[in-house]
């Protein structure tokens, strides 16, 4: 007996998707709509935009989930090369927004090539290690480091420390899951801590200010400390239970800067309180757990390192964003995954989630 055609269509559509992940992302997205509505002073302009780019992101997610990881992997070298060339293009012809050079203007569209790198870099590394599977020697990790450092330094030069750190971290996660020696990881960590003074030396003024502000926001409460003080007040005054949806005074009195994008978590915290924050942490942790499960079951080295890197990068986003808004990490431009308003970031996150599902699917096929 043949099932109903609608039912078959439904099965065709849902087959590539990973049930638990889709469900979790759907819940996060619905909650994010509520908080965005509050953050944008109860207007619908941004909500409409968000719905549009979320739909678009879901389309991309579905397409990638439907694709086979092997096909996705084939695109790694060209995307990586194009990404690096675009970054070089930014260096040469990029336009300057807010003092740093991050955008390329093609007339009809402005793109930020560092966004492409967020996916292209781990893909490239995954492709590279897959090609040497079973015979990986120490020098392969050296080549891997070079693959990381090329885009990394280009982005550092823009200057965009936040994005450069995230992208290099996503590359490091690949090395980690590709079996980079523990000694090197621990040794490297120690070396990094030792080199911090040098890093400080090479930092731009605005980056140093952010670090100083983090250490003591009250030093500069009206300048750089303003963001942190205001968002901390918003979070703290939310209390255990929150002030309730649409009732955040800090939010509605516009004390919170960039409250629809990077600082949206402050709005969330103020209105939903500690309980809301814990719910969000649990939701994210569930996404991460599912990601690591897929990593554990991945069939190929490429799948394993990609799934691991995507999962850990997702974690970095969530952790760094909530950390900076609550005042324990410096203010870097990192969005809260699937909650912050912004099309580009959402699309690149959806690409990651789509690949994760694709890797998860090889199991079932």
Partner 1 sequence: MPRQRHLPPARGDDSQLQLRLIVAYAFMVLMFLVLAGRFAWLQFFQYDHYSTLAQNNSISLVPVEPSRGRIVDRNGVVLARNYAAYTLEVTPSETADLDATVAELGQLVELTPRDMKRFKKFLSENRRFEPSALKMKLTDEEAARVAANGWRLPGVEVKARLFRDYPFGELTSHVLGYIGRIGPREKEQIQEDGLTANYRGATHIGKLGLEKTYENMLRGRPGFEEMETDAGGRAVRSLRQSAPQNGSDLHLALDIKLQDVADKLFGKRRGALVAIDPQTGGVLAFVSKPGFDPSLFVDGIDTVTWKNLNEDWEKPLVNRALRGLYPPGSTFKPFMGMAALDAGAIGPNEVRSAPGYFTLPGSSHRFRDSKPSGNGMANLSRAIAVSSDTVFYKLAWDMGIDRIHPRLAEFGLGSRTGIDLDGESAGILPSKEWKAKRFSKMKPEYQRWYPADVVSIGIGQGFNAYTPLQMANATAILASDGKVFKPHLVQEVVDPKTGKKTPVEPAPQKQLAFKPEYFDYIKGSMEAVVKPGGTAWRLGQGLSYRLAGKTGTAQVVQIKQGAKYNAAALAEQHRDHSWFIAFAPAEKPTIALAVIVENAGFGAAAAAPLARGVIDYYLTGKVPPEVAGQLQTFKPVPPAADASGPAAAGAAASAPTPQKKTDASPSA
Which residues of this protein are in contact with partner 1, per CB under 8 A?
97-98, 133-138, 176-179, 181, 183-184, 221-223, 226, 232-240, 249-250, 253, 255, 257, 269, 273-274, 277-278, 281, 284-285, 288-289, 292, 295-301, 303-304, 308, 311-312, 315, 319, 322-323, 326-328
**Distance (Å, rounded) from C-alpha 41 to C-alpha 24?**
26
Closest approach of partner 1 to the CB of residue 116, in Å: 22
Closest approach of partner 1 to the CB of residue 221, in Å: 6
Closest approach of partner 1 to the CB of residue 181, in Å: 5
CB nearer partner 1, residue 19 or residue 187: 187
Q: Which helix (H) or strand (E) holds 86?
A: helix 76-93
CB nearer partner 1, residue 66 or residue 319: 319
Closest approach of partner 1 to the CB of residue 4, in Å: 37
CB nearer partner 1, residue 147 or residue 318: 318
Closest approach of partner 1 to the CB of residue 298, in Å: 6
CB nearer partner 1, residue 65 or residue 234: 234
Cβ-defined contacts of 274-278 (< 8 Å, 24+):
274/238, 274/239, 274/240, 274/241, 274/242, 275/240, 275/241, 275/242, 276/238, 276/242, 277/322
Q: What is the DSSP string of 208-261?
A: HHHHHHHH-GGGSTTTTHHHHHHHHHHHHHHTTT-S-TT--HHHHTT-STTTTT
**Distance (Å, rounded) from C-alpha 159 to C-alpha 170?**
19
Among 72, 10, 60, which Cα is nearest to 351's? Answer: 60
CB nearer partner 1, residue 79 or residue 305: 305
CB nearer partner 1, residue 120 or residue 325: 325
Q: Which helix (H) or strand (E) holds 205?
A: helix 205-215
CB nearer partner 1, residue 108 or residue 138: 138
Closest approach of partner 1 to the CB of residue 49, in Å: 12
Task: Collect all residues with Cβ–Cβ distance below 8 Å to 8 and sequence separation of at least 6.
Answer: 2
CA atoms in the 13 A half-sphere facing the CB of 295: 21
Closest approach of partner 1 to the CB of residue 6, in Å: 37
CB nearer partner 1, residue 132 or residue 157: 132
Closest approach of partner 1 to the CB of residue 323, in Å: 7
Q: What is the DSSP string of 106-135?
A: -SS-EE-HHHHHHHHHHHHHHHHHHHTTT-
Task: Collect all residues with Cβ–Cβ distance below 8 Å to 71 and sequence separation of at least 6.
Answer: none
């Amino acid at each position: 007996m043949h099932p109903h055609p609608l039912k078959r269509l439904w099965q065709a559509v849902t087959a590539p998707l990973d049930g638990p992940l889709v469900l979790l992302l759907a819940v996060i997205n619905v909650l994010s709509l509520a908080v965005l509505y509050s953050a944008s002073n109860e207007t619908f302009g941004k909500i409409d935009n968000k719905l549009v780019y979320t739909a678009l992101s879901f389309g991309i997610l579905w397409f990638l989930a439907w694709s086979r990881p092997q096909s996705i992997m084939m695109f790694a070298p060209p995307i990586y090369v194009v990404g690096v060339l675009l970054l070089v293009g930014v260096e040469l012809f990029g336009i300057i927004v807010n003092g740093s050079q991050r955008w390329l203007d093609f007339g009809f569209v402005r793109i930020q090539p560092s966004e492409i790198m967020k996916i292209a870099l781990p893909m490239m590394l995954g492709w590279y290690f897959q090609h040497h599977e079973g015979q990986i020697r120490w020098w392969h990790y050296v080549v891997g480091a070079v693959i990381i450092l090329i885009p990394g330094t280009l982005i550092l030069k823009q200057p965009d420390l936040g994005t450069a750190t995230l992208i290099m971290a996503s590359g490091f996660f690949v090395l980690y899951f590709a079996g980079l020696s523990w000694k090197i990881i621990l040794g490297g960590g120690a070396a990094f801590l030792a080199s911090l003074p040098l890093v400080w030396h090479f930092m731009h003024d605005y980056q140093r200010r952010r670090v100083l502000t983090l250490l003591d926001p009250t030093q500069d409460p009206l300048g750089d400390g303003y963001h942190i003080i205001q968002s901390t007040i918003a979070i703290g005054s939310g209390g255990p239970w929150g002030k309730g949806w649409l009732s955040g005074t800090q939010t509605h009195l516009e004390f919170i800067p960039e409250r629809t994008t990077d600082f949206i978590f402050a709005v969330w915290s103020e209105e939903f309180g500690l309980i809301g924050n814990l719910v969000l942490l649990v939701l994210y942790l569930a996404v991460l757990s599912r990601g690591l499960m897929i990593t554990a079951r991945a069939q190929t080295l490429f799948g394993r390192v990609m799934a691991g890197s995507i999962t850990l990068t997702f974690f970095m986003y969530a952790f760094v964003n909530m950390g900076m808004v609550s005042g324990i990490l410096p203010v870097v431009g990192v969005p809260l995954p699937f909650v912050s308003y912004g099309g580009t970031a959402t699309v690149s996150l959806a690409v990651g989630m789509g690949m994760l599902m694709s890797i998860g699917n090889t199991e079932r096929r």
